[in-house]
Structure 1
Amino acid sequence: MDNGLEISDRVIPIKKDNYKVIEDIICRNTIYSMPVIYVTKFWGRYPLRVQSLAYRLRGVAHTLVEEDTDVSKVLKESCHGMNSHHGSIGIYYPGSSALYKIITTGRYEKHEEILLDRIVNIVCRYMNQQARDKMMTWEGVQNELLKLRYVSATEKKAKAENEVSEVYENFSDELEEKERTIKELNNRVIALQAENQGLRAKYEQVTEIPLIYYGVEDELYEGEIKDQILEMLHNQMSQVKKKTRKEHILQDILECNEITGAVDKKRKDIKRILKGYTKVGDSLKCDLKAYGFAIEKEGRHYKLIYKGDSRYLFTMAASGSDSQHGGGNLSAEIIRDML
């Protein structure tokens, strides 16, 4: 049960005798842990196969359906017209991070499967973005196990220190090496998870009708291509004549698409990593690898290659002669060429 509402793979019919269930959801009097989908009728029929929708969203969302069309008239008064009606579909989220969504279904009359996929994708994308307790994820469990092993290793280290100094020194070196390895592997896991989320988001959008199509360029990190395009369009707005069709089209696209902030975060991260560096030590190497750079030593310099793409190659001195400007100049070059 979810706050009194059964979690099921079947639809929940809404009639005059139980319309308060959907009224409380729309008016936010009752909050459930999962989104609620409310499908209404038009001319006595639903715009899609409601049982198929309920089955595909089992354990992810509640599927409620309008069985008595007179319910819409009652909800119009009690919910101040915020309810879906006449064949539209309402999506009501449990938290305040996302607004209610009403989908009109007229243009999907002959494309029922596309409408069905769109509803499922919208709900699944929302649920994928919700924060989860670290112990409910594989990474969180692995990190807790690593902490336990670290405590055990520390206790062995103390015992070895008391017994033989030589054994302690060897064990200390081994422990430090293991800690570095664990940190690098954790950074790699985080990078792969971000890449996986980006691929999942692209896959889920396959059934949408896109405005433009992706080319052959792969995203170097999740949200990169979308943010770059929206940023360029935003800059273009200042050069477009006011009150023209071009301005209206650009304005509409920018209002309907939100920048994820991925590119801006990358800019801030590279500035932080390179700020005031004086030499390329283990800590700086670790941060650069976590950022996505492969590092190769060439004489008194290092080559930085981003995500294995040789088009984005940068040279970094092994020791920064000017700690005030060296890191700033390199981060500015990376931002200019890649971000």
Structure 2
Amino acid sequence: MLRDLLQKDEAHVENGKEKVQSLLATSPDVDLAGIRYSRHDNDLEWLTTVVFSRTSSDAWVGVRVECESQHAAARLPSAKKPVVVRTVLESLGGAADGPLPIRDTAHILTNTDIDLAAKLIRGDAGCRLPIVYVSARFQGGYILDVNRLAADLSGMAHVVVEPNRPFSVRLQLEVDSENVYGGTIGIYWPEGGGRRAFFLGGDYSTPGHLAGAIKDEVRAALLNRRPIARCTWAYVRETASRQAILSLKASGSKAIDEYVEKFDQEIEAKNQRLEEAESEIQRLRNELRVYEARAGTASGGLLRLGRERDLYPNEVLGILLDAIEDAATRVQHDSRRQHVLRSILEANRLEENPLEGRREQLKRLLRGTSTIDGKLRRELEDMGFSISEDGKHFKIVFQGDDRYTFTLSKSGSDWRGGRNAASDIGRLLF
């Protein structure tokens, strides 16, 4: 059945619950090919999109897998790297991403690679994929299997391994102590986007647990990152439509219906890309709020916050004050413990409880609603929610953290649905 896809620039084949679409487009600047594979599996709908884009200077493959639930109550499976990534690398091989080739084995640095390591950590090496930097333990060796990690992250991130502990000491001087060391693994984002450190102990008791956390972090970052524009289905569609219009004009065609159809397809593709750009802008705004909140909240040296950080200003402080206020009502009256708790409350009193305010705001927005219109979307986005509607339900994610993902019906008929959703979301978030 798939042979039918080779007969023309745009085609599709279906078989039961499966469907494959293909789309080819060529312009003077770029050659494009896209494949979409959709499948219904019980209550889940899977969509895999693979786009190949080649210019005179480079070629990229963009891969995206989406899973939507047919029912709001269905639980989505844990995400895994698409098998097609490995297939593409095995079939075509990986070219250079900046100074590093894309491959499924770790990049082992030598003692002369200090300058390269410094550029990778500072984010100015010209790579697009993130860098997973594995430092040497104090006693030598590494805390996990670096080649296995590289195989798991192939096509998603580069795994770079320093040769020894003295290399780490020399590197520290080059990057102002921004490098991880002593066995810690750091994820460094391109263009100086900061780092995230992982080490054994505390939250991660085994190498397997640690490797899983690193893969989850990379996946979450790539999900929230806007893809290369020319590696999207919308771009292939737009290019194909534009070339079809030019061909019709060149042939002197007067077929108005054909013109209208092709123009409509181009406009639809442009609108989709515009929506993607607006979503990216909103995500960056939310991320900026998170960084502002982190910069504005000081622990005073009393507590270590661990892995969690403020998702909005004073969030962690508000949670702690709520817990302390509750605890103060449960201890022995006029006891030393109550005096200490009351003292902390008085010294850290907030003019407005950020948790209660957000609970009430969410209730106000969703009360009596059965779907999300433009005004409600803007107000929810201002609160820090990102909203997508590609499937049969709205999917909302709080502050880009997919641990806090919720679904709302697109055509809810029960006016109490919004109130119930606000109650459920409020309990989990605020």
More strand by share: 2
Q: Which has the larger radius of gyration?
A: 1
- TM-score between both structures, scaled by the size of structure 1: 0.50
